[in-house]
Structure 1
Amino acid sequence: MNEEIRQSAVPSGLALRPVRLSGRLAAGALSLAGLAWVLRAVWEVRLSAAGEPGSGPPDQGDGVHRPLTALEDSYHRVSSVGGVVAFLCALFFLAWLWRVRDNARALTGQRPKYAGIWVLLGWVVPVVNLWFPRGIVADAFRTTAPGRKLPVCVNVWWGLWLVGVFSGVGLIQNDSTDQVIARAYGEVWPLLVSDAAVVGAAVAGVFVVRAVTGAQLERIRQGAAPAVERVGPGGED
């Protein structure tokens, strides 16, 4: 009977994809990513407070690297763990985003504003990566909940994401871990500002996932209510 109710809520005839668990996984992964970047910031503060050793930075140029201190070695481990968490977060978030995009079409029969390929490429193609991912999220929400104002958290999340990505010391950076350590010794504040942006984007992202997922679950319930009345408690018309 539940399957009959679910299909009756889909005017376009397309099958809905489960989104509750996907949303929880995406929100949990975002929370872990935020925690990972908090730890990075803590270690960068520790490096700054400890000061650069008399032997100079880890990367001494011309391919020469001195042995790492215990604190520097632990920062390498924290950075590596953060990279793994960020990768898993990306996988869970993209899986969720693809589902809510498809569900918005299934619930309303309206074609998405952005083709499916942009769910992936929209993050990496220059120029369009400045707005396509936000647009996909906004389109999924507005299509699912027409007439409702786009949640503020969407713009907060995207603004902080852009700062964290394009600041040059955040999610995408050309510096090696040893070079980041040297920057922490020299001037830690740019690193901390970027870390704060990444953490803020992760926290705002949790609210984004909850808002869009909640809107879709509400829309599904609204579409299912008439079906319950038609089918009746005995499962027959």
Structure 2
Amino acid sequence: MHRPLTALEDSYHLVTSLGGAAALVCAVLFLSWVVRLRDNARLLSGRAPKYAGLWVYAGWIVPVVNLWFPRGIVADAFRGSAPERRLPASVNVWWGLWVLGMLSGVGIVYKDSTDEIIARAYTEVWPLLASDAAVVGAAVAGAVAVRAVTAVQVARMREAAGPRVPQPV
């Protein structure tokens, strides 16, 4: 027999569900961006990407490989798009915070049941908040990285297209 959930516990389930849905939407959008990023880099550089297309998806879920492949795919595409430029710092910040958030969250969240996590929120909230802060920081840095890498590709595509000659009216 379980006691009725408190309002805080009900809220936790609601926030977790909404957070999971938002994460799914963000993941789909991010992966579609990475696929386009790789395609653009291949066209701009004329060479095949370092990582096979399968790794754009599997690189996130295969243990150990997921610690470096996703960042490597973005970095490889950036270098293919602009070999003379340095990788934006936001890419490394994004990846460092993402790995930190995931590794710190694995021990906190995935080894326990939802009820144990809720109970821990009453007594040991700081590790949960620190892990979440790293993931939120990674999301912000990831948005900055997407903008920086995309801007470089757009500029390179404009260069490749050549100067526009105005047409007589």
TM beyond 0.5: yes
Is 1:69 the counterpart of 2:6? The answer is yes
Distance 1:212 1:141 in 2: 6
Alpha-carbon spacing, 1:113–1:172, altered in 2? closer, same or farther (3 Å): farther
Unmatched runs of 5 consecutive residues or more in structure 2? none
Give the number of the structure with larger relative contact order, counting CA–CA contacts within 8 Å between residues 6 or more apart: 1
SS of equivalent residue, structure 1 residue 167: helix
**Deviations 1:161-214 (CA, angstroms, capped at 9, x unpaired):** 011112135897243332221111121110011011011000000011001111
Percent identity (aligned): 67
Distance 1:173 1:68 in 2: 21
Partner amino acid, structure 2, of 1:126: P
SS of equivalent residue, structure 2 residue 162: helix
Is 1:82 the counterpart of 2:19? The answer is yes
Partner amino acid, structure 1, of 2:151: G
Partner amino acid, structure 1, of 2:167: P
Contact 1:165 1:172 in 2 (8 A): no
Contact 1:161 1:198 in 2 (8 A): yes
The correspondence for 2:102, drawn from 165, 173, 182, is 165
The correspondence for 2:93, drawn from 156, 163, 167, is 156
**Deviations 1:129-183 (CA, angstroms, capped at 9, x unpaired):** 1100000000111110111111111111111101111213589724333222111
Partner amino acid, structure 1, of 2:11: S
Is 1:95 the counterpart of 2:29? The answer is no
Partner amino acid, structure 1, of 2:35: W
TM-score by length of structure 1 reads 0.67
Contact 1:169 1:194 in 2 (8 A): no
TM-score by length of structure 2 reads 0.92
Larger Rg: 1
Alpha-carbon spacing, 1:110–1:221, altered in 2? closer, same or farther (3 Å): same
Partner amino acid, structure 1, of 2:73: I
Contact 2:105 2:128 in 1 (8 A): no
Is 1:204 the counterpart of 2:138? The answer is no
Unmatched runs of 5 consecutive residues or more in structure 1? 1-63
Contact 1:163 1:194 in 2 (8 A): yes
* Aligned position for 1:175: 112
Partner amino acid, structure 2, of 1:91: V
Contact 1:157 1:201 in 2 (8 A): yes
Contact 1:171 1:198 in 2 (8 A): no
Contact 2:108 2:127 in 1 (8 A): no
Q: After the TM superposition, which residues 1-237 of structure 1 pair with which residues of structure 2 at under 5 Å, given as runs?
A: 64-168=1-105, 173-226=110-163, 228-229=164-165, 233=167
Alpha-carbon spacing, 1:172–1:69, altered in 2? closer, same or farther (3 Å): closer
